[in-house]
Structure 1
Amino acid sequence: MPSLNKFCNLQSVALKRVIKEEASNSANMVHSYSDFSRSRKLSVLDLAAVAYQTEDRSINRSLPILPDSLADVSLSAISQGRQKIKHSLYSNVFYRMNDLFSSEDDKTFHGWQLLSVDGSEITISPDGNDMSTYGGSKKGSKHHFYHANPLYDVLNHVYIDLVMQPGSQKNEDSALMELAHRHKGEKAIYTCDRGYEALMTFYRLNQTNEHFVIRIKDESSANSILKHYPTPDTEEYDISFDVTLTCKNNSHAKSNWDTYKYISSYAKHPEFQNGVTELPLHGRIIRYKTVSEGV
């Protein structure tokens, strides 16, 4: 294994080469090379590389640091130029880099892959009249962004898949299910933070025999899924979680919240069709006390 600096340099060189090769592929352009056929200050390579700059300087605080060839170009000109490049260029770069740097001797945990999923917002410039990227962020404000949902191999330190969602279509639950459905490995454990704690997601992962560990809000939280569920009055426990998901918000369900969970958005879920009103959900809840280093 090369040193960290050497490894980063190898990745940097490879990334620049892959971007250049994908930028020269006419299949990644909206109108082949007609958009970049004339001599212009905005080259396809410069525009393609903008998304991969990582330093802090920006134009109007909307784009990361730019190469010298774009430093004096207006934000609107860059935005218009980027509309001529298909999303395939970036997904091709993503998968090619994974192929180059995935470990040949994959590390596992007792034969199991440990795969982590977490979403991140990537702010972008408005794309013409396309409002699909305009949505509400985690901070509450609305802006143009893509929601990236990467699948990360924890032990081998490599991203192996990615689901990109326009801001208006952000849905971490569906992204997790899509990633799990596409994964080709037979033995994998998915780990997710709060935000993926949806009961219907738990049910679907169980139905497809997936293994997962998802952090949930403590029962003291007002919107915890454990709010009405009986749990031991101890700092740590390991108990079964057996409830029935229902689309019926009737008196029987209301008087038995410790065993029934009403799915208010049931109309969106195909599982509640053809007369099906209840779905059994089995899980396991583990609560443990963490200790900070040095304490």
Structure 2
Amino acid sequence: MKIVLCMGASPIKDEPLKFNDFSIATPSASAFVQARSKIKPEAFRTLFDGFNKKTFKKKLYHGYRLLAIDGSELPIDNTIFDDETTVLRHGTLAKPFSAYPLNASYDLMERTYDVIIQGEAKRDEHGAFFQLVDRYDGQKAIFIADRGYESYNGFEHVVHSGHKYLIRVRDIESKTSITQSLGPFPDGEFDVDVSRMLTLKQTKMIKACPDVYKFVPKTMRFDFMNKQNPWYEFNCRVVRFKITENTYETVITNLSREEFLMEEISEIYDMRWGEETSFRELKYAIGLNALHAKKRELIQQEIYARMLMYNFCQRIVQEIKIPKKDKIKYTYQVNFTRSVHIIREFLRKKGGKNPPVEHLIAKEILPIRPGRKYKRHVRPKTVVYFNYRYN
């Protein structure tokens, strides 16, 4: 298991050699693959969960954990066609596409992950969100999510768990926004409380009072109503704030106005972008996008192993103290990519004197340049193939 944990983005032949310090007695690549095939993915999942619970350190924001919910698609080899991970994407050339969507809960203060893995053919972001919320048993938390996660069911799953939510939705000017059934709203910025009676009934009275009732069709999943109890009172707070001269963001939350003002709501949502940065570190610094297997069970092993390695590295990096210097222009932070390489070599080391890991990491720093913005370029991602892979 330790070899799998320490793997980077090198070819499968090189990983055992690096782990064994290029010993002549290193097992062959095929022997290594046969050995790891005997380990179930659940073993890595148990190790991942156990590590998170045992090493958790309480870092709160106004008394709350900040848990950002988001997903990231991990393309995998499509030569194995199965009912869980493969779909046929239609277009000019219909080709099979295989992937594991990762539905992650990311602690923005502690910088660590929890995850639910789904196959592309079984993708259900809302269902994964419900699972992440329902199984969370830690301290009081704020679940922060982007557009695509908004639903009455999701809101109430968080409420029934005893926690808080802050979810961005399509702006009030969008005809497909969930706010269309919660308005009307004033123009510009606002911070208002909204109440609706959700119901399975569709009578003339309900249709005549859209500012009081909201009809929930059978096609919309809602776990807190049934034929015996067709009514449910829904309450929320809708906040709209300006981000540029002509653009606004709208969020729905159950945070109280006494605890969090509009400015603090905007600040919390901005912090959610820390998860976007973490996905880049997970895929490229840790090496999640460079898998070493085609078999689905072995890929799941590597996903849990990489996410465990990410959490392990962040636990160490968060404890590093950067020496302060006089007359410096910027505040500095640890270079996470360089730290990963140092920590990985430390884990691979067998015997001898341990390297000064903390001192080495403390020397690898980057300036923090607040306020920098870059246009996001979305490109289609493909699997990183085994050929010509050297690291």
TM-score, normalised by the number of residues in structure 1: 0.64
8 Å contact from structure 2 (residues 181, 214) kept in 1: no
Measure, in 1, the Cα distance between the counterparts of 2:52 and 2:202. 47
Query: What amino acid is the match of 2:41?
Result: H
The range that moved more, 144-153 or 281-290, is: 144-153
CA-to-partner distance for each residue in 1:202-238, whole Å, 9 max, x for gaps? Answer: 1222223221111111111121011143343231111
Number of aligned positions between the proteins: 227
Query: What amino acid is the match of 1:149?
Result: N
Query: What amino acid is the match of 1:148?
Result: L
- Look up the match of 2:107: 153
Is residue 125 of structure 1 aligned with residue 77 of structure 2? yes
Deviation at 1:242, TM superposition (A): 0.7
**Structure 1: 5+ residue stretches without partners:** 1-17, 23-44, 54-64, 71-76
User: Which protein has greater RCO, CA pairs closer than 8 Å, 6+ apart?
Assistant: 2
- Look up the match of 1:20: 3
Q: Percent identity?
A: 25
Is residue 238 of structure 1 aligned with residue 183 of structure 2? no
Distance 1:89 1:226, change over 3 A: same
Alignment of 1:30-69 (within 5 A): 49=7, 53=9, 66-68=11-13
Is residue 199 of structure 1 aligned with residue 155 of structure 2? no
8 Å contact from structure 2 (residues 194, 236) kept in 1: yes
Deviation at 1:111, TM superposition (A): 1.9
> Aligned to 1:212, what secondary structure does the other structure show?
strand
Query: What amino acid is the match of 1:165?
Result: Q
Measure, in 1, the Cα distance between the counterparts of 2:112 and 2:372. 30
CA-to-partner distance for each residue in 1:106-132, whole Å, 9 max, x for gaps? Answer: 321122111111011111224855311
8 Å contact from structure 1 (residues 146, 167) kept in 2: yes
Measure, in 2, the Cα distance between the counterparts of 1:262 and 1:107. 41
- Look up the match of 2:381: none
Is residue 180 of structure 1 aligned with residue 133 of structure 2? yes
- Look up the match of 1:288: 241
- Look up the match of 1:29: none
8 Å contact from structure 1 (residues 83, 127) kept in 2: no
- Look up the match of 2:389: none
8 Å contact from structure 2 (residues 200, 227) kept in 1: no
> Aligned to 2:159, what secondary structure does the other structure show?
helix
Query: What amino acid is the match of 1:243?
Result: R
Distance 1:108 1:275, change over 3 A: same
Query: What amino acid is the match of 2:124?
Result: N
8 Å contact from structure 1 (residues 147, 167) kept in 2: yes
8 Å contact from structure 2 (residues 85, 121) kept in 1: yes
Is residue 260 of structure 1 aligned with residue 209 of structure 2? no
Measure, in 2, the Cα distance between the counterparts of 1:248 and 1:83. 53
CA-to-partner distance for each residue in 1:9-32, whole Å, 9 max, x for gaps? Answer: xxxxxxxxx64277xxxxxxxxxx
RMSD: 3.6
> Aligned to 1:227, what secondary structure does the other structure show?
helix
Deviation at 1:95, TM superposition (A): 4.0
TM-score, normalised by the number of residues in structure 2: 0.50
Deviation at 1:269, TM superposition (A): 4.1
Measure, in 2, the Cα distance between the counterparts of 1:274 and 1:265. 11
The range that moved more, 230-239 or 145-154, is: 230-239
**Structure 2: 5+ residue stretches without partners:** 16-29, 90-94, 246-370, 374-391
- Look up the match of 1:208: 161
Deviation at 1:170, TM superposition (A): 1.7
